[in-house]
Amino acid sequence: MKLYQYMIPVKLVICLVFLFPDSLWPQYYVSNDWKLTTVGKVRQIILNRGRMSRNGNYADFPYLIGCEYPPGSGDEHINATGWWIGGIAPGYVKRVSVGAGGKTPDEFWPTEAPWDTIWVVNKGNVMDIGGTQADGTVDIYWPGYKAISDQDFVFRCNDYLVLSPSLGGNIRDPHSPLYLEVIGTVYTWSSPPLDEVIVWTFYIIPKKFSVEDVYFALQFGARVGPINKSPGADDRSLYFPEHKMVAHEDGPGGTDGDPAGAAIGFKLIPPPGLELILNYTFTWGSEALTRDKDDDRYDAISQNYIMENQEEYYGGSAYFSAGPFDAELGDTLKLQLAEILSPNLQGLVQRASVIDEVIKKDFKFPSGVPSPQLKTEIRSKEVHLSWYPTAEVNPETFTDPYRADGTQYPFEGYRLYKSTQTADGPWTLLGEYDIAGNEYGQNSGLAYEYTDIGLLNNIEYYYSVTSFSKPDEIFPWPSVESSIYQSVVEVILGPKTPETVGEVRVVPNPYRGDLEYSSYIPPWEKPPAGRDWMEQDRKIQFIHLPNKCEIKIYTLAGSYVAKILHDDPIRGYENWNMTSDVGQAIASGIYLFTVKDLVNGKGQVGKFVVIK
């Protein structure tokens, strides 16, 4: 496959490859980037490097979980996971460039170009990927890129960069690159049966010389379980030869309990015609991680050896490789991996079979109907929801060219959901409304409005509306529902912001430490996803605040405790975690507070009680 026949060549760069020695290749990167998948049931970190998981050593990586499934669960699934590429350079020299793993720092990085970040392209959109350099050189490395999935990610990196020491990094010395550029795409879907699947595609492009006997390897770190409970301690590694899939499974019970998504796998999708002639290697344990020399690493990933599956659940890592391939200078080697999540191993195998069918059809399969826009109208202790079709988004007139049954308009109905926890759920179905008088669904009739009553003020509620399609019985393909996460709206009820102070009060009052406020429905105190409740999650609320005011809290004896500044014309309240300005949790007692209106200078005094 010659991907570059569709790309604009940069002749100057190609000439430099042959004119200058290896020492002139290293550059410094400035475009290190990350994105998070937001459709489907997997929250996967996407990096424009050679790794697929977070690296705890990098402070510029704020998201704590590398692969969360299901959303909002706080369950991690991978750690120290990345791809390696090994091959034979001229002179029969074995070289391996490492994305993640073991003693070697990451060796695939983006260039210094500001457009070598991560591009996000949604379904139906077309985008030129790349940019123009300061000297006017055009570097559009993928013109007219058209999204394949509901949410595509595109990135570019290579193995001949040096990470700038000024940015806190270093690279193996000496590093002998294969001079490979890798363009990566990541496909994600919002609807079953692919909302628990991510497809990674790697376009491997030799930039200096042809590389023989290429092996593509996955260093796969096992880490399945709650992020706050030592995930991975009771995992095991397995290999499914019929699907060319390496997997990790969490053991029952143990210190990390039983996560909802107990299994994760990576399935190799080899180029057509090569499935039966490739060599495959699967081993588990730390043996691969201890190898830090190219010769040893190449021998490890090219040994054509399938280790027996791990029987006992005691954690560890695995690596899986396939080859040999040839990567000719001027050509492009295309390889694909399917990342699959499931509650159990049986689900992994089922989804692997679905992926085989999807690949055969070149990703042309019936898709989900788009979600309508959800609008809210806040009333006294209730919210009115509406989702009428618009000219911009009309699910009822959506057409799908990939249906096999010839249905002109596949839309069947709407579903309305509510969560009292987070924007990631868990979700409660409030209603299902489908077309009446046909052979599908409940025939309840379509509806476009709903009023949710009996709600509490100053509490977050989350709502979402989805569309679902008729099944395609000819393809065959099930009814597909749009992603519940695409139309989420947050609603906070409460009275209008008062003109000034005078009615400010504290809730709950008294605050009782013997009550589990986090178990209320909706919860009054909510720790972040993946973490148990802690002292710092305690909460009282100052309500009926004017737009701009200052709150000060004192002990009954008059000792200063804390100050809160409020500046919000919409939300007339502020939360306080009952921690002083010096970081000390307050004790039981009676406390005084003052509120000063920063607009007119008026003030108010009040008190509240804390019983721990």
Whole-number average pLDDT of the chain: 87
Comparing CA positions, the residue from 389, 386, 385, 384 lying closest to residue 372 is 389
Q: What is the pTM of this model?
A: 0.79
Which residues lie across from 573 on neighbouring strands?
A: 543
List the beta bridge partners of residue 609: 590
Q: Which run of H or E residues covers position 556?
A: none
CA distance 34 to 163: 16
The pLDDT value given to residue 13: 30
Q: Is pLDDT of 339 > 60? A: yes
pLDDT of the residue at 288: 53
Which comes out higher in pLDDT, residue 314 or 603? 603
> Is the pLDDT at 289 greater than 70, yes or no?
no
Q: Is 298 exposed, middle or buried (0-12, 13-18, 19+ CB in 10 A)?
A: buried
**Per-residue pLDDT for 274 more than 60?**
yes
Please determine, for residue 14, whether its predicted confidence score (pLDDT) is greater than 90.
no
Domains belonging to the chain, first-starting first, are 3-360 (2.70.98), 375-492 (2.60.40.10), 505-611 (2.60.40.4070)
Percent of the chain exceeding pLDDT 70 equals 89
Range picked from 38-42, 240-244, 528-532 for highest mean pLDDT: 240-244
Residue 281 pLDDT > 90: yes
84 pLDDT higher than 60: yes
- Specify the pLDDT at position 91: 94
- Per residue in 110-128, pLDDT (tens digit) is 988 889 999 999 988 999 9
Q: Check whether 60 has a pLDDT greater than 90.
A: no
Residue 227 pLDDT grade (very low, low, confident, very high; cuts 50, 70, 90): confident
Report the residue count for the chain. Answer: 612
pLDDT for 16 equals 29
**Strands 245-250 and 263-269: what pairing?**
antiparallel
Cα maximum dimension of the chain: 84
Please give the single-letter amino acid code of residue 449: E
Q: What is the pLDDT of residue 285?
A: 82
- In the predicted structure, residue 57 carries a pLDDT above the cut 90: no
Check pLDDT > 80 for residue 550.
yes
Q: How far apart are the first and last CA of the chain?
A: 68
User: Given a cut of 60, is residue 317 above it in pLDDT?
Assistant: yes
Confidence at 83, pLDDT banded by 50, 70, 90: very high
45 within 8 A of 67, measured Cβ to Cβ? yes
pLDDT at position 64: 67
Residue 566's contacts (CB-CB under 8 Å, 6 or more residues apart) are 542, 545, 548, 549, 550, 551, 574
**Coil vs helix vs strand at 489:** strand
Beta-strand relationship, 449-452 and 211-226: unpaired
Predicted pLDDT at 29: 41
- Percent of the chain predicted with pLDDT > 90: 62
Reduced to 3 states (helix: H, G, I; strand: E, B; else coil), residue 4 is helix
